Structure 1
Amino acid sequence: MRITGRQAGLIASAAVLVSFAASVTAFVLLLGEDPVDRHRSSTLWTWLSAGHLSFGMQILVDPLSVFMMLVVSGVGWLMVTYAIGYLSGEGEERRYHAYKALFVFSMLLLVQSGNLLLLLAGWGMVGLSSYLLINFWHERPSAVA
């Protein structure tokens, strides 16, 4: 069973809305903390470790990253939800919604990165998803020009 473009849009919209709810939850939890303790870091796995230096997937949650998480997921949800109606009847709606969800995920990875390695991975994914979104209308002469 193949999902329709509208269903793909609703799935993408729900996923981004869940990320917005998680961002609001992180914001509320940080507000309850003492201002000195509003900094959380979590290493999901370590890729390379040598002495005191280690590289891995480290997520950082502090007031600046939570603010950016709220902006990215909030505006991302508005864009994905608007695109459901705007792209109605287009042939490749599913692909567009997948690209848009990848873009929002990449931006969230970028703003939550706790080290340079993850920041570069998020930045690369933002570049890739931006390229895919820009190139979405590649068959239209007016978009190519």
Structure 2
Amino acid sequence: MRWTVLDSPIGEFSVATDGAAVCEAHFGRIAGAGEQPADALAGRAVAELRAYFAGELTAFVVPVRVPRGSEFERAVWREMTTIPYGETLTYGEVARRLGDVSAARAVGVACNRNPVPVIVPCHRIVGAGGKLVGFGGGLDRKARLLELEAGVALRRAWSPSG
């Protein structure tokens, strides 16, 4: 696994690739991460992340592979990828979608363990009533990511070209 770091509006952000897929991401700089993409895939991931942060990309297409996590965590992470850009779901709504209305706290734990934040959008899961709670990158980053997406979604919805 090789790490690449990029500057972003939410601070340094590191992304790891294994040559075939993005397998991890981290807020901040990982020791040993280079500023030049470690491989062609890392270059694609960095380009997509830059486009996302610039408000030009609403869906990541870079391949992602997560080699760890319980069956439940993986189900939560898959569910995250179905939340449309610029929208949110509550922990309870995700639990309900997974068939266990009592699993909202477990959804929160799975969000915290998401190894590929931003690309697998755990920031789109919020507390009851839309409250900003729980985010491994800090609530300020979560708010900034949600504000970015909401602003882009609003501009696109109100654009004369539709």
Could you tell me the TM-score, scaled by structure 1's length? 0.28
Q: How does the TM-score come out when normalised to structure 2?
A: 0.25
